Amino acid sequence: MAKIFITGSADGLGQMAAKLLVGEGHEVTLHARNSKRGDEAMAAVPGAASVILGDLSSINETIKIAEQANKLGAFDAVIHNAGVGYQERNRINTPDGLPHVFAVNSLAPYILTSLMEKPKRLIYLSSGLHRDGDPTLNDLAWQERSWNGYRAYSDSKLHDVLLAFAVARIWPDVYSNALEPGWVPTKMGGPSAPDDLDKGAETQAWLAVSTDPEALVSGKYFYHKKIKANLKAADDLDTQDLFLSKCAHFSGIKFPSK
């Protein structure tokens, strides 16, 4: 039995992965942004061990999420599933003055990874749209650029791949991978999304617990349990390090080297 934490598991792919893992007998801790959503999450995933509450768009609340998680002891796997989409029509400042998409999709996984006890496996949900992300990493807070929700989302999904690959390199004792679930008909993807919803949740659950040799790898990018080519820029070590340094600047939290 593995002990797993899944961010953004009140609905969508996170909830589906949680159900798969609970059904296999694993100990799953859920996450939701407030108590109402937390109650809904626990009701939707019978057998879940607990739920951690906190808004990932806030640096302070994300730090508190990490603190709550650490009180439960080290996890075998953490699935960084939480994310917001590209439909946002404006920058939407968070309490820290950052774009909502960057705060939730990019900075929160960095903060949690930096502050939580090191798990055995880390899984970061990206998207095929990461290939449209800007590898220069200029103006992450969108203070100089005209807001474009699609571009901001694509950037954030590239950030998730950069983070996964950086962690794989810096922490060789951890399996750290990124994946794209496909364009699936979730609340974010919309009802007309063409990919298989069930398959969208399977890969992250598989990477969290499987002993298949194909899952016991690190620094890879997956789609439906198969390694898939990622944007080449994500393999660049300097770009990975630049992303870590920028996240350290925004959060005030330095990524631990070991």
| Reported pTM | 0.95
64 is catalytic: no
Structural domain boundaries enclosing 141: 3-251
> What integer pLDDT is reported at residue 199 of this predicted model?
76
Q: What is the CATH number of the domain that holds 78?
A: 3.40.50.720
CB-based contacts of 205, cutoff 8 Å, min separation 6: 17, 20, 21, 24, 79
The mean pLDDT value for 157-171 works out to 98
157 is catalytic: yes
> What integer pLDDT is reported at residue 252 of this predicted model?
98
Q: Could you tell me if residue 88 is inside a domain?
A: yes
Catalytic residue among 110, 124, 153, 221: 153
Average pLDDT value for the chain: 93
Q: Which of 11-15, 19-23, 189-193 has the lowest mean pLDDT?
A: 189-193
Q: Could you tell me if residue 204 is inside a domain?
A: yes
Catalytic residue among 3, 157, 220, 246: 157
> What integer pLDDT is reported at residue 193 of this predicted model?
47
> What integer pLDDT is reported at residue 92 of this predicted model?
84
- The DSSP annotation for 52-69 comes to EE--TTSHHHHHHHHHHH
Q: Could you tell me if residue 159 is inside a domain?
A: yes
> What integer pLDDT is reported at residue 216 of this predicted model?
98
> What integer pLDDT is reported at residue 189 of this predicted model?
46
Q: Looking at the 3D structure of the chain, how many domains does it have? A: 1
Q: Could you tell me if residue 256 is inside a domain?
A: no
| pLDDT, tens digit, 9 for 90 and up, residues 84-134 | 987 777 888 899 999 999 999 999 999 999 999 999 999 999 999 999 999
Q: Could you tell me if residue 258 is inside a domain?
A: no
Q: What percent of the chain has pLDDT over 90?
A: 88
Q: Could you tell me if residue 134 is inside a domain?
A: yes
Q: Could you tell me if residue 217 is inside a domain?
A: yes
> What integer pLDDT is reported at residue 196 of this predicted model?
61
> What integer pLDDT is reported at residue 160 of this predicted model?
98
| pLDDT, tens digit, 9 for 90 and up, residues 189-211 | 445 544 566 777 999 999 999 99
Q: Could you tell me if residue 257 is inside a domain?
A: no
